[in-house]
Amino acid sequence: MTDVRWSIPLFLAGCGGAQEPAPAPQQLQCTIDGQNESRVMRDCTTELSYQDRDLSAKVEAFGVSLDAESGMQYRPVKNSLTLLLEQQRGMCRDWNACALSRQEYVARSEWMTAQFTMLTQILDAAMQGPPDPESRGRVLQQVLEWSTRAQEMQSQERVETARIAVEAQGAAVQQDENAILEQRSGLEAQGAVAQTDQAGSLGRQATAQEEAARLQAEILQRQMAAQGQIDQQNAAARANMRAQFGAQADNYERMATEIAAFVPAFAKARTDVAGFTQGKRPRLCSSNFRRDLETAGRGDNATVADQARRIKEAADRLCVRFDLWEQPDAGILRDLGKIPESLERAEQMAQDRTSTPEPVKAQIVAKIQQARREVAGTEAGRRPFPCLARVWSDLTDLSTQGNGWLNTAASNAIRTRDGVCQRIGVLPRNLEQDGEQFGRFMDSLEGQVRGMERQYRDLAVQMRASIPP
């Protein structure tokens, strides 16, 4: 039994207006397992509020640093932190209620302090600088492992709470047993006194023996009932832990399976972008692929949703230039409207009498005239501007074969093309660079996704291995 007595010091005001001393901490007198103990009452709200705010703020900051992945991946960590903080407050209340011995309180406090210190070190290391994908994966693995241990502690705490309740019930049964034994002793004493009465001694002895047997049977029955209840509560606690661990493992496997099902999207993106570097509109710009990615980006799996959105954004950047090329806006149309006049001035410069040598002059003039024919009508947006026409590469080759005046004329003609095509983003060098960049981006994203799949499968295996028998 646990006995709690509050010891509140009394202060008497002295004479002559002396200042009243500050109140001393409230003392508790506890009796635990027959041992008397004096302890100081703890403030379970103020003492833990700073640690609560500090760790909660760091977990929130860590979740923000994970960007869109935080929605799924750091919620278990936040829940585990909340549970541990609540357990710490409950342990403080048990201390004040004399429900824990000093040894139990110290052991559990040291364990919780170690867990909070470990989480603080992990989060401080994660927030020191912008994490690269591999470092972020390692930190996420450490935080998830910490969360798993916290959940195990919660389950063990429930089993420990059930054990304490059953032990209390066992103590009550023991008290009943002691009372019955005292009653039995009284009956036996009555039987001893009754032996002086020869006439009724044998009958009273028989009655006492029957009553003692009945009391013994009642004690055994109560003990068996208490043990049965203990067994049931222990079995229920283990079943609850098995269910929780199994559900978490199933969740990890489900997420890994969904990620694996999304992996083929990277191969499709690479296939459907074929022809981009040659100035051909990629198939992904006209198919349902981007719409499917948009749908996946609204899914519940944070990893899949984030990667789907990033692939779609990259695909949109490739496709928007073809949209602008085929349907130029007002700004592009203004630039296109200036090209015929610019090419005409370049042709006049090439035909100038000072342009030499004559064979190169004739070729440059002919190519500029060809360019003027090919761009005719594009200023009105009736058809796309011929950014990739062969005539521009021919003029580039000729721009170094004449004298300065003639080369300038060819270069001016090329710049008329470059100005508008650079703005649209369909110059050959633009297409080649952006195509290579898209390929590298897909490789990087796919590597991250496959790494997350492996992590979730490993977590599922670890969780299943932790399921209690």
| pLDDT at 413 (0 to 100) | 95
What is the tens place of the pLDDT at every residue in 30-61? 988 778 888 888 888 776 666 677 777 777 77
Distance CA 402, CA 356 (A): 6
Domain ranges of the chain: 3-40, 330-424
Distance CA 336, CA 376 (A): 10
Confidence of residue 154 (pLDDT cuts 50, 70, 90): low
The verdict on whether omega for the bond into residue 357 sits within 30 degrees of 0, i.e. cis, is yes
Distance CA 382, CA 388 (A): 17
- Per-residue tokens: 2: 């646990």
Q: What is the spatial order of strands in the sheet that 27-32 belongs to?
A: 3-7, 27-32, 35-40
What is the tens place of the pLDDT at every residue in 288-316? 999 999 999 999 999 999 999 999 999 99
Measured from the Cβ of residue 417, the count of other Cβ atoms closer than 10 Å reads 24
46 or 326, which is more confident: 326
Distance CA 465, CA 469 (A): 10
Burial 327-345 (b: 16+ CB within 10 A, else e): ebeeebeebbeebbebbee
Of 215, 214, 207, 213, give the one whose Cα is nearest residue 191.
Answer: 207
Extract long-range pairs of 76-82: CB within 8 Å, 24+ residues apart: 76/144, 76/147, 76/151, 77/143, 77/144, 77/146, 77/147, 79/147, 80/146, 80/147, 80/150, 80/151, 80/154, 81/55, 81/56, 81/119, 81/150
Confidence of residue 207 (pLDDT cuts 50, 70, 90): confident
What is the tens place of the pLDDT at every residue in 210-257? 887 888 888 888 888 888 888 888 888 888 888 988 999 999 999 999
What's the rounded mean pLDDT across residues 390-401?
Answer: 95
161, 164, 166, 170 alpha-carbon torsion, rounded to 10°: -170
What is the tens place of the pLDDT at every residue in 327-369? 999 999 999 999 999 999 999 999 988 888 999 999 999 999 9
Tell me if 414 sits within 8 A of 310, measured CB to CB: no
Q: How far is CA 201 from the centre of its chain?
A: 81
What's the rounded mean pLDDT across residues 175-183?
Answer: 66
Residue found by looking up tokens 């004479």 in the block: 15
